[in-house]
Structure 1
Amino acid sequence: MNPVVWFEIYVADLARARAFYEQLLDMTLEPMEQVEGDWPEMWLFPGDEQGRGACGALVKMEGVGPGPGGTLVYLHCNDCAVPAGRATGLGGSLVRDKFAIGPYGFIALITDSEGNMIGLHSQR
């Protein structure tokens, strides 16, 4: 079993961050059902709780901000060069273009619209 079971990407502007990720990865995020109490607004990445890998969400939470120096999350792509090439036009930036990591495939590093560094991973 993979050790990561959940991830949260903290954002300052949820609408801007949602648009960034939906266009970057060509997918639709869904709102998380609100629970009782003081719970932050979350938008979920597509996922299967019984599938391989981790599920996660964009989160706007009081007292927790986005930015460099936090946990680095790698998102799966068919070819990481494609979304990496879209990052700048969506309000993010390219940190490092696609490069090989030996038998483990390829990665690229970007910042999102909120200043978080995100890894993109693909096998080709």
Structure 2
Amino acid sequence: MANLKFNPVVWFEIYVEDIDRATRFYENVLSIRLEDASDPTNEETQMRFFPGNMEWHGTGGALVKMKGVKAGGGNVLVYFACEDCGVEEGRVEAAGGKIIQPKTSIGEHGFCAIVQDTEGNVFGLHSMK
């Protein structure tokens, strides 16, 4: 088995039914701004990029509304880094989402919470405190 010299995950996409509603949810919960990255020549796909910097640890990603692709029900769990995941968890229900697993200790690896967005997608929040 080869030793990787990079992180194996390079991008993620969260599929949504209502891109404006999903954008408001993630902006409110994560306290960030998503950037419209839709191609005006492709009316079947809308995208909103999460903020990112390719020189930092981690990966970039986007919310995507695409004809023929359903939101929710996936079996891949994306975790968003937080300073204290309890803070972001505290914003989930007010933003229209649900808490699946409240902030829980994972020992020396910090803490995590599992939540659901307005589109039915489940994702994680992770922090060291």
Give the aligned partner of residue 31 of structure 1. Answer: 36
| 1:1-124 equivalences in 2 (<5 Å) | 1-32=6-37, 34=39, 40-124=45-129
The two structures, once aligned, show a CA RMSD in angstroms of 1.6
Question: TM-score by structure 2 length?
Answer: 0.89
In 2, Cα distance between equivalents of 1:61 and 1:119: 23
Aligned residues: 124
Where structure 2 has 5 or more consecutive residues not aligned to the other structure, the ranges are 1-5
- Identity among equivalent positions (%) equals 48
2:70 counterpart SS class = coil
Larger Rg: 2
Q: Which moved more, 1:15-24 or 1:77-86?
A: 77-86
Where does structure 1 lack aligned partners over 5 or more consecutive residues? none
With the length of structure 1 as denominator, give the TM-score of the two structures: 0.93
Moved over 6 A (4+): none
1:39 CA displacement: 6.3
Q: Secondary structure at the match of 2:47?
A: strand
Structure 1 74/101 Cα, relative in aligned 2: closer, same or farther at 3 Å?
same
